[in-house]
């Protein structure tokens, strides 16, 4: 058990390390059991910090939860923000070429699913799914840092595929359908794995799942499915 002291981490370096450990320890706990199902003491023990450190660094449990949301948004958003710019450039370069748009969507879908598989391992995916199902004040952080940019990228492809403005309801709704090609394999994987009696997100099984997700994403926008998810846009 860590020492019970009311003056945690008097030095800036130690304080930053404690903040990091608390956030990293809290993430899988909140992802697994939700905000109400996790105690501050349990998080502190997992982080090898004292209970007083949560109030000292975050003002309490709610502040820690919001810090976890910011951590998730920053980790996921670091990959999504430049991806939106690349998608915009490639959509413009495709100039309506549906083969190139299909190849682009395949790459985006593949990257999204692979990223969510990684996020599943450290708790980020579970945290995101909980906030999607029962949004709290943390949802705004996740929306600005991850959900909205991701939808914006998908909507750009949907708009080009259907000849509508990128911010139109048709583009936003159709772009959101691409989430549906990926998220069931993350949030609902237990159903398929029970039916199949095996994992679907590891090794060769992941490649099969990626192929299905790409086909579903392209099908939702009426775009041709490339022979390989990694096919270059000029092929």
Q: Are residues 199 and 101 in the same domain?
A: yes
- Domain span at residue 155 reads 68-221
Q: Are residues 51 and 73 in the same domain?
A: no
Q: Are residues 19 and 87 in the same domain?
A: no
Q: Are residues 35 and 119 in the same domain?
A: no
- Which CATH number do you get for residue 32? 1.10.10.60
Write out pLDDT tens, residues 110-142: 999 999 999 998 999 999 999 999 999 999 999
Q: Are residues 48 and 124 in the same domain?
A: no
Q: Are residues 115 and 183 in the same domain?
A: yes
Q: Are residues 37 and 142 in the same domain?
A: no
* pTM, to two decimals: 0.86
Number of domains in the chain: 2
Q: Are residues 91 and 174 in the same domain?
A: yes
Q: Are residues 73 and 34 in the same domain?
A: no
136 domain residue, yes or no: yes
Low-confidence stretches of the chain (pLDDT < 70) are 1-13, 228-235
Q: What is the DSSP code string of the chain?
A: -----SS---SHHHHHHHHHHHHHHHHHHHHHHTTTT--HHHHHHHHT--THHHHHHHSSHHHHHHHHHHHHHHHHHHHHHHHHHHHHHHHHHHTT-HHHHHHHHHHHHHHHHHHHHHHHHHTHHHHHHHHHHS--TTHHHHIIIIIHHHHHHHHHHHHHHHT--TTSHHHHHHHHHHHHHHHHHHHTHHHHHHHHTS-SSSHHHHHHHHHHHHHHHHHHHTPPPPSSTT--TT-
């Amino acid at each position: 058990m860590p020492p019970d002291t009311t003056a945690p981490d008097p030095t800036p370096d130690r304080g930053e390390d404690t903040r990091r450990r608390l956030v990293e320890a809290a993430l899988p706990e909140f992802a697994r059991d939700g905000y109400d199902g996790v105690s501050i003491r349990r998080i502190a023990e997992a982080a090898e910090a004292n209970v007083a450190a949560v109030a000292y660094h975050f003002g309490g449990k709610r502040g820690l939860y919001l810090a976890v949301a910011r951590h998730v948004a920053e980790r996921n958003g670091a990959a999504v923000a430049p991806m939106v710019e690349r998608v915009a450039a490639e959509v413009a370069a495709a100039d309506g070429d549906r083969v190139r748009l299909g190849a682009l969507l395949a790459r985006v879908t593949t990257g999204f699913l692979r990223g969510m598989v990684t996020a599943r391992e450290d708790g980020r995916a579970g945290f995101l799914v909980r906030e999607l199902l029962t949004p709290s004040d943390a949802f705004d952080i996740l929306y600005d840092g991850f959900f909205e940019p991701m939808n914006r990228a998908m909507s750009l492809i949907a708009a080009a595929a259907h000849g509508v403005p990128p911010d139109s309801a048709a583009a936003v709704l159709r772009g959101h359908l691409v989430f549906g090609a990926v998220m069931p394999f993350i949030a609902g994987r237990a159903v398929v794995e029970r039916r199949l009696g095996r994992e679907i997100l590891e090794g060769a099984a992941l490649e099969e799942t990626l192929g299905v997700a790409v086909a579903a994403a392209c099908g939702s926008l009426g775009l041709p499915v490339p022979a390989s998810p990694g096919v270059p846009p000029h092929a």
